[in-house]
Structure 1
Amino acid sequence: MIAMWRLTVSNALAHRSRLALTWLAVALGVAFVAGSLVLTDTSSQLLDNQFRTAAAGVDLTVRTAAAFNSAMGVEVQRAPLPADVVGRVADTPGVDRARPIASGAGQLQVRGRAVLPAGPTILGTWADAPFTAYRLRAGHAPHGPDQVVLDAATAREHAVRLGDTVTVSATTSKQLRVVGLTGVGDRDGLPNSNLVLVDLACAQTLLGLGPGVTSIDVIADPDVAVADLRTRLATSLGSGYAVTTGQDTAAASAAAAKQSISYLRIVLLALSAAGLLVGAFLIANTFAIVLTQRSRELALLRAAGATGRQVFTSVLGEALLVGVTGAAGGTAAGIGAAYGLRGLARGAGLALPDGPLTVNPRTLLVAVAAGTLVTLLAAFGPARRAARIAPVEAMRLSDPAPATARRGRLITGWVLLGLGVIQLAAAAAFRDIAGVAIGAVLFLAALVVLGPVLAPRLAQAVGRPLARLGVPGRLARESTVRNPRRTAATAMALALGLALISFVSVLDSSVKAAVGTSYREAITADLIIESARNEMLGGLSPEVAHRAASLPEVAVASPIRYGHWLDRGMTSALTAVDPATLPHVARVRMTAGSLAALDGGGVVLAANVATERHLHLGDSLPMTLPRDGQQQLRIVGLMDDASARALSTSYVISLATYAAHYNENVDASVMVALAHGVKPQQARTALGKAIADFPNAQIRNQAEAAAGRAAAIDQVFGLITVLLCFAVLIALLGITNTLALSIVERTREIGLLRAVGMTRRQLRSMIRAEAVLVAAVAVVVGVVVGLGLAAATLGGLSSDMPLVVRVPVARLLAVVAAAVLAGLAAGLLPARRAARLDVLTAIATH
């Protein structure tokens, strides 16, 4: 056993140049996995630290009760605490100190420009130690209605100095003088956030709380157990209030903020899996080629007494060495790659915190295990074939002929292909997205099985233009066709990456087109006022809608709000509208009931939801709302699905119903219909002057509003496309690797070609043409598969939104051109190596 292991190590070292690109493919795939885990672990840890730091020194927090804490990454806003509760808490035995807090989302404007961080702008009450970790870096604490303290990081970034005046907006807007700069612990601020700190009375005014407060921080007497005080306060205050430890409150806030990171982790790991799958093709192909070239060597081992099992173990041992070392190198590279992934995610609009990287032992274990396992699985097939080599092969003077497709493979492949096509067609027809996923797996499996059959035929067809290159072009096509299994494996790796990019591109274009069409068809408003950051849950003070409605240029200003509710344990969203003004700015088609009936309470549903849940006009829908728990809302109307999409949710309530069950007092948007004869630019100018002191309010026309929605979709799909390019890079390494190894295999053939008159230039052209031909085959397969899967997926998604396939021709042509050029580049080094071979030495090679 020890002797075989030594032989394994010796073989791996002896063939290290042939396995180098395989090692690199493993390293790249694992780097993606490790970087994804490090990034998400780091972001989670930084958010935990951020909220834990903010709650430092606080034993207990008192807030009003809520049916649930957060939804879709956003904490629910609780009802304000009455002013008398502060005294009741402070007078409770065991309470050392109690501090009332008024806090919420705000907006900051510096020198007429809105400050828009990647994360929130936190408007809160200044507090001294020990209640918070805020530490003054300059100036003094805010006192009075016109003073504010900013975090030092924001002040530095926007050149704000003590004594400067800034505008702060929430429910109302005020100009405040900067009197201090603060840090948080040992940092100059919170990651991706702005801190705007004022005194209690100013915060209550800005947030529209009146005499109420959002929470009360409590410090217990030194001789009182925190758990006992918590029980005492909860009993004293009653079930309408929630009493939690400061760290539990911080943990709940961090958990809400980390929901988006959980989604990001899923996306990144799915894309990492795609990269590893592409790498598996390269690994399997490399081992198949190398072992074919070593067939006589392996046969000699068999002749010397080695069993098939020992040969099998030896080959897997080589794969283990490549896998472990490649995975270790990839893990190390992935830790650094986490910085790049963080930048890409931020470019897609995700607010990820800055800070030192966190590397958990689990990350190291998962990354190394993933790379090693994929390498072993990819090498399993070639190892089995190597174990079957008979000792008689040692007497052959040439390498064995390439294997031809077996009958069993053909039958299996065509059966899988038929089942996949039928499943995809049926799933698209019945709008079953889960069925589409099953069909896609069957279809891709069929392509892998049938690859050696289809690849040579495609290469013959696609390679016909190469005849114009003369002899080098014809030889390139024949060489590509000659080994169908190798060509199929090389092309399939690149085809998979290109299929995913094509799939994402078509999905992006189709979804954007559907969203834009629905919006333009349903929304008739002349202008839309929206938050500069496109927050679905709001950001616009109600004062914006009030001022807009009071202008003579405006006929109607209709605000829209959004909220979350629990639907059978799952978070869902709803839209709140004004039934009286909405028909003036939107075309809502009702299939039953009326929008005006919302004035009496109740809910309007999208028709497809009513059908799916077997609900009818007059039925009651149980909805768990954040402030009041489960409520039975009567169904007063059904609207068509296009109207629901334009309003962004399938559930619509009135603003009055919203106010009765929600505490949020900000609008998501205000849709404006102009008075007769008023020109849009005239109205825009008037609106701009009226709401100039609300820095986050942006005035847009329909086209601009639709473009904003499209930009948000583009950001997400753009991130996915960029990350998929890593999989394509690994596949291109496969082309380079396959050609380099095939040159070793064809050394004598190349020598003979040179001997009969082929020039170095012609030889380089032949090798480059082979690379381009493999890339072209991959392009054809990848784009066709990507378009087919996208069409099926869009059909499956049409149960929620009728989606028409929109093919981004220009983008796909760019992908095709880039893939072909990349294929050409992949052939440069092998072509150069082939041209440098010594003719006589090459001819003498066996």
Structure 2
Amino acid sequence: MWHLTLAHIRTHTSRFALTLLAVVLGVSFVAGALVLADTSERLFEDEFRTANAGVDLTVRDAAAFDSAMGVAVERDPLPLTLLDEIRAVDGVVDARPAASGQGLLEADGEAIVPAGPSLLASWAPEPFGAFTVREGREPRAAGEVVLDVATATAHGITLGQEVTVRSETTATLTVVGLAGFGAEDGLTDTTVALVTLPAAQALLDLEGVSEIQAVAADGVTPTELQRRVGAAIGTGYDVATSQDTVEAGAAAAASRVGMVQVMMYVMAGAALVVGGFLIANTFAIVVSQRSRELALLRAAGATARQLRRSVLGEALVIGVVGALLGTGLGVAASAGLRSLVGVFGVSLPDGGTVLTVRTLAVSVGIGVVVTVLAALGPARRAARVSPVAAMREPSGPVPTSRARLAAGVLAGGAGVVALAWTLRVGAPVAVVSLGALGVLAALTLLGPVLAPALARAVGRPLTGVTGRLARESAARAPRRTAATAMALSIGLTLVVFVSVLSTSVRGFTGDAYAEVVTADYVLESARAEMLGGLDPHVHHDVADLPEVAAASRLRFGHWRDDGATNALTAVEPDTLGEVADVTMVAGSVSDLAGGGVAVTERVATERGLAVGDTLPMTFARTGDQELEVVGIVADSDAQALSTEFLLSMDTYATHFTEDVDAAVLVALADGVGAEAGRAALDEALQPYPTVSLNDQAAAAAARTASLDQMFGLVTVLLLLAVGIAVLGITNTLALSIVERTREIGLLRAIGMTRRQVRWMVRGEAVLVAVLALVVGVGLGVGVGAAAVASLGGEVDAPVIWPVGQLLAIVALTTLAGLLAGMLPARRAARLDVLAAVASR
């Protein structure tokens, strides 16, 4: 039987070509996501390991947590006197202090603004420093600097040239050396300036040092040294081994790739589900066409089990081949995935692609399992047909069992109730997901029952003989029609869902920002750093302009909330009212000046908070704190400020070390026109090349720019799943032509022309596509509206209908259906009439 299985696949390769493609594309998403995760983790780990090579211990100021949302927290500096205490510990061979921070480079009067950080650090020799001089020498005096080779090469900087470094203070330094980072020329998307420790402290205005690194004596393990140093210097310091530092840093950096990974997994799921329908449909048709062959095998002594194993064997071969090809495609696309990560502001270090045994096992396993499971139903039906029954002409469609009908009705009813309940009163996103899955399950189970009536109803506009025949052909093969339409409708459901959700989210996000923020101009970093990245001097220089009536700062931070990470925004209570119209349900913005926190209505309701209550908050710098609730903010207004928790700048300074602004909201003075105000601001911002100056409209649009990128990317990837489903129509019709050869021959014999045959097949393809449109658009609109209503529990989120996009989806899907039927129609029209009539 195994030889027969392989022979059948070789003989009918074209039947399984599109099935194989569906497996390949689905598995490629899975493999790509796994390769991205492994590669990013390994590359970040290698980078941090290089940075800590030769160092056994790192001492920093203690923090309640190391990182939040992929951002390492900034710590207070260490006193330099701590260096002598560490050097005196038994087992410490040497220890050296280090200072680091942001330092923007300028060469030939032009700022060098990388996509990533502008790093300023103190020079350290081996084994403390990861940078080694390749040209020139190390810095020895306050006026000297060493640059990384990558930056110097990219900007034509040579030894002896003067560059300017802008940090807390500004200095002009002479380049005395060029250094590489391990085997690389520098850090990815980063400029590096290395100066002496006193120079770094002066530029960073740092009283003390950022950290102290220590090397253990021979025979002393890092863990033992960690214990000894911790005992010697006492609590209040974070004493970490190099391995702990590497793992923590790599994990924080790699976590920022998580969004792309989740999207890849979602796309993989969609592609595999759509592919599953195509696989099941293909095998069902092939088994039906082989009924006589299977009957002869049964008559020759083959058992039902052998026939079932034969069909599953075909699925196994296709699954293995498709999974291997898909894994290879996912690995080959790894370079593109790195660019994809870059869209979200995360640059991976240079290095090779990481392919692990786990990736191979999971990718191949998923491809094989999905293919075999999809073929399980057709295999069982093949085994259940008796030899005598299989030799007869087909008597009609297989009736749907009562159990299947009952399960479909229950699933559909539960799904509709969940979505309707969400639309009416709002519900968590999980309820929306369960509702959508319930309706999809119901359509899958009840598809063969609903398909005939839906096909005749949707196909009513198809007139004439060819139109009626197309309708009846789709109606009398309900399982085939339902499976083909469902594959396409799932893809369309996801595309429409994303379209409705993205349009609504963009709309209310932009509108909420424009309604709340009344400032004439908004200053933000052009590099989109997680915490903002604006030099605090920007605020002072702008606020002092006579053309400016008010300049109010915003800062972002993270805090731990019972193990989870939450974001917060710090504001200036005395000036916020001049640049924003924030509605307070209770309390006032000015109450923040005395300390405490303001929360949104949603948070207050969920946690039972009122003004005067306390909210437990954990900060990296100050640990567990109890902050008084001094105000409750309207949900939509707080959303415009990117938070559900508001602090004052003074409270922020108590609990955070970070000293960068996220934005500066600027209101022009009375009588100052927009052009005059912009000119004054442009001149004041000349020393700050990383600042982006936007008017209110541009700032509101910037709020949705990242959403546009994300939703656009998801839509493009989902269209691949739709493409698989459209190819499924071609595949199904092509196989059905073989099944209906005699029928088509008889139609030709009684006078149907080749042109009419072509239009009959094309009409059936369009009918299936439109049937999928009705289901996909209807379900996508419903789930999208329910998802927006679910978000309404957190923000005021009205549904905004993307009418233009929906019309485009309808037109393109109809056209795709017509194109999908062209090849099968051509094949049907070219059948020899006599040979077709004589076929059985």
Instruction: Bin the TM-score by the shorter chain.
Output: over 0.9
Aligned partner of 2:783 in structure 1 is 789
Q: For the residues of structure 1 that align with 2:108 and 2:804, how far apart are their CA atoms?
A: 42
**Which of residues 816, 826, 829 is equivalent to 1:832?**
826
Q: For the residues of structure 2 that align with 1:263 and 1:344, how far apart are their CA atoms?
A: 11
Q: Does 1:380 align with 2:376?
A: yes
Q: For the residues of structure 2 that align with 1:180 and 1:46, how far apart are their CA atoms?
A: 27
Q: For the residues of structure 1 that align with 2:12 and 2:472, how far apart are their CA atoms?
A: 28
Q: For the residues of structure 2 that align with 1:325 and 1:270, how far apart are their CA atoms?
A: 23
Aligned partner of 1:240 in structure 2 is 236
Distance 1:319 1:138, change over 3 A: same
Distance 1:833 1:138, change over 3 A: farther
**Which of residues 253, 261, 285 is equivalent to 2:281?**
285
| Structure 1 residue 784 displacement after superposition | 1.3
What SS does structure 2 have at the residue aligned with 1:258? Answer: helix
**Which of residues 59, 62, 65 is equivalent to 1:65?**
62
Contact 1:529/1:700, CA 8 A, preserved across alignment: yes
| Structure 1 residue 409 displacement after superposition | 3.9
Distance 1:751 1:147, change over 3 A: farther
Contact 2:63/2:623, CA 8 A, preserved across alignment: yes
Q: For the residues of structure 2 that align with 1:150 and 1:589, how far apart are their CA atoms?
A: 50
Distance 1:436 1:225, change over 3 A: closer
| Structure 1 residue 488 displacement after superposition | 1.0
Encode CA deviations 1:328-386: one digit per residue, 9 max, x unaligned: 22212221122233333323444334431100101100011101111111111111111
Structure 1 residues 171-182: aligned runs within 5 Å: 171-174=168-171, 176-182=173-179
| Structure 1 residue 826 displacement after superposition | 2.4
**Which of residues 740, 748, 759 is equivalent to 1:754?**
748
**Which of residues 289, 292, 309 is equivalent to 1:313?**
309
What SS does structure 1 have at the residue aligned with 2:627? Answer: strand
Contact 2:257/2:341, CA 8 A, preserved across alignment: no
Aligned partner of 2:80 in structure 1 is 83
Normalised by the size of structure 2, how large is the TM-score? 0.95
Aligned partner of 1:501 in structure 2 is 495
Q: Does 1:645 align with 2:645?
A: no
| Structure 1 residue 116 displacement after superposition | 4.9
| Structure 1 residue 493 displacement after superposition | 0.6
What SS does structure 2 have at the residue aligned with 1:673? Answer: strand
Contact 1:107/1:695, CA 8 A, preserved across alignment: no
Aligned partner of 2:431 in structure 1 is 435
Contact 1:173/1:694, CA 8 A, preserved across alignment: no
Aligned partner of 2:585 in structure 1 is 591
Contact 1:163/1:179, CA 8 A, preserved across alignment: yes
Aligned partner of 2:802 in structure 1 is 808
Q: Does 1:267 align with 2:282?
A: no
Distance 1:681 1:242, change over 3 A: same
Contact 2:305/2:383, CA 8 A, preserved across alignment: yes
Q: Does 1:151 align with 2:148?
A: yes
| Structure 1 residue 180 displacement after superposition | 3.5
Distance 1:759 1:110, change over 3 A: farther
Q: For the residues of structure 1 that align with 2:558 and 2:330, how far apart are their CA atoms?
A: 37
Distance 1:176 1:742, change over 3 A: farther
Distance 1:377 1:173, change over 3 A: farther
Q: Does 1:402 align with 2:403?
A: no
Structure 1 residues 339-418: aligned runs within 5 Å: 339-396=335-392, 398-406=393-401, 408-418=403-413
| Structure 1 residue 408 displacement after superposition | 4.7
| Structure 1 residue 66 displacement after superposition | 0.4
Aligned partner of 2:595 in structure 1 is 601
Aligned partner of 2:133 in structure 1 is 136
Aligned partner of 2:553 in structure 1 is 559
| Structure 1 residue 793 displacement after superposition | 1.1
Distance 1:498 1:192, change over 3 A: farther
Aligned partner of 2:651 in structure 1 is 657
Aligned partner of 1:256 in structure 2 is 252
Q: Does 1:488 align with 2:487?
A: no
Counterpart AA for 2:411: L
What SS does structure 2 have at the residue aligned with 1:141? Answer: coil
Counterpart AA for 1:368: V
Distance 1:813 1:351, change over 3 A: farther
Deviates more, 1:164-173 or 1:261-270: 164-173
Normalised by the size of structure 1, how large is the TM-score? 0.95
Structure 1 residues 530-541: aligned runs within 5 Å: 530-541=524-535
| Structure 1 residue 616 displacement after superposition | 1.6
Encode CA deviations 1:40-65: one digit per residue, 9 max, x unaligned: 21111111111111111111111010
Contact 2:32/2:264, CA 8 A, preserved across alignment: no
Q: For the residues of structure 2 that align with 1:757 and 1:170, how far apart are their CA atoms?
A: 87
| Structure 1 residue 233 displacement after superposition | 1.8
Identity of aligned residues (%): 56
**Which of residues 277, 293, 296 is equivalent to 1:297?**
293
Counterpart AA for 1:695: P
Q: Which runs of 5+ in 1 are unaligned?
A: none
Distance 1:818 1:142, change over 3 A: farther
| Structure 1 residue 618 displacement after superposition | 1.2
Counterpart AA for 1:552: P
Encode CA deviations 1:250-269: one digit per residue, 9 max, x unaligned: 22111111112234323321
Contact 1:23/1:323, CA 8 A, preserved across alignment: yes
Q: For the residues of structure 1 that align with 2:63 and 2:812, how far apart are their CA atoms?
A: 54
Aligned partner of 1:730 in structure 2 is 724
**Which of residues 18, 27, 39 is equivalent to 1:21?**
18
What SS does structure 2 have at the residue aligned with 1:83? Answer: coil
Root mean square deviation, CA, Å: 2.2
Counterpart AA for 2:31: A
**Which of residues 661, 666, 671 is equivalent to 1:672?**
666
Encode CA deviations 1:261-312: one digit per residue, 9 max, x unaligned: 2343233212211111110000000010000111122222223333323322
Aligned partner of 2:738 in structure 1 is 744
Q: For the residues of structure 2 that align with 1:724 and 1:238, how far apart are their CA atoms?
A: 55
Aligned partner of 1:527 in structure 2 is 521
| Structure 1 residue 611 displacement after superposition | 1.4
Distance 1:129 1:93, change over 3 A: same
Contact 2:426/2:792, CA 8 A, preserved across alignment: no
What SS does structure 1 have at the residue aligned with 2:462? Answer: helix
Counterpart AA for 2:780: G
